Amino acid sequence: MYTVKELARLTGLTPRTLRYYDSIGLLCPRRNGDNDYRLYGGGEVERLQQILLYREMGLPLEEIGRILDAPDFDRAGALRGHLDRLLERRRETEALIRTVRRELQTMEGEQTMQDKEKFEGMKRRIIQENEAAYGQEAREKYGAAVSDSAARLAGMTEGEWTQMQEEERGYRQALLRAMAADDPAGEDAREAVRLHAAWLARYWPPESVTAQAHLGMAELYVQDRRFTEHYEKTAPGFAAFFLRAVQAYYREP
């Protein structure tokens, strides 16, 4: 049996976190009858392991509780899924290490990198930058879709990458024309929305780019200051006008 402080030292969590898990019914220890101290036995420790695994996968605590309390909870399946994501993360890290080593060799005159290797290194850097900037927050909102997005980007060919860049330039240019005409429902605006959906499908599984998901993404561009500032570099009011265009696109046939 472990007290709160003992389990905190064992897991690296804070006592405050363990007490919070108790308060929301996620991890409820036994109580010492003499002093009302929280006591954690083998069952609670095993449940905490599952909580930490799912938290690492980016699931919200409320969803973790529903999963663990479900009568058909598949522990082995959960562990296999977590292992797959860890292995994918390791592959991405190992590929980045190889690229950095080649770059150092090139700088030292030992080896000339091929264009393909430079392209692969560039992709890895973008994945790492996206992870650092948005990874944890995005996983809390979208779960496994974020890991799938990184894997899709890592697996792109140079031709697919070029096409994605053309789609991005295309939807920006089309939206700028729509903004100049102040027409969020016109053909230029509709073309911008179509190209943006195609661009988004490079990151997400195509079937997940639904009207609801597309609208949600457009709303995020306005609600999240980081996205808004990014699009404001294209033109003042770009994010807000894009949201109007997406709303018009799905409102009209």
User: Which of 18 and 85 is assigned the larger pLDDT?
Assistant: 18
Structure token digits, residue 201: 């499908």
Question: Left, alpha or beta for 27 (phi > 0: left; psi -120 to 50: alpha)?
Answer: beta
Q: Is the pLDDT of residue 107 over 80?
A: no
The confidence score (pLDDT) of residue 96 equals 81
β-bridge partners, 146 = none
β-bridge partners, 39 = 30
How do residues 173-231 score in pLDDT, each as one tens digit?
999 999 999 999 999 999 999 999 998 888 777 787 889 889 988 998 898 888 888 88
Average pLDDT value for residue range 50-64: 82
Query: What string of DSSP letters covers 99-125?
Result: HHHHHHHHHTTS-PPPHHHHHHHHHHH
Average pLDDT value for residue range 112-118: 59
User: Distance (Å, rounded) from C-alpha 188 to C-alpha 178?
Assistant: 5
Going by pLDDT thresholds of 50, 70 and 90, the confidence category of residue 245 is: very high
Q: Is the pLDDT of residue 137 over 60?
A: no
Structure token digits, residue 34: 């003499």
How do residues 152-169 score in pLDDT, each as one tens digit?
777 777 788 888 888 889
Q: How distant, in Å, are the alpha carbons of 64, 73, 88, 193, 218 from that of 78?
A: 11, 9, 16, 37, 32
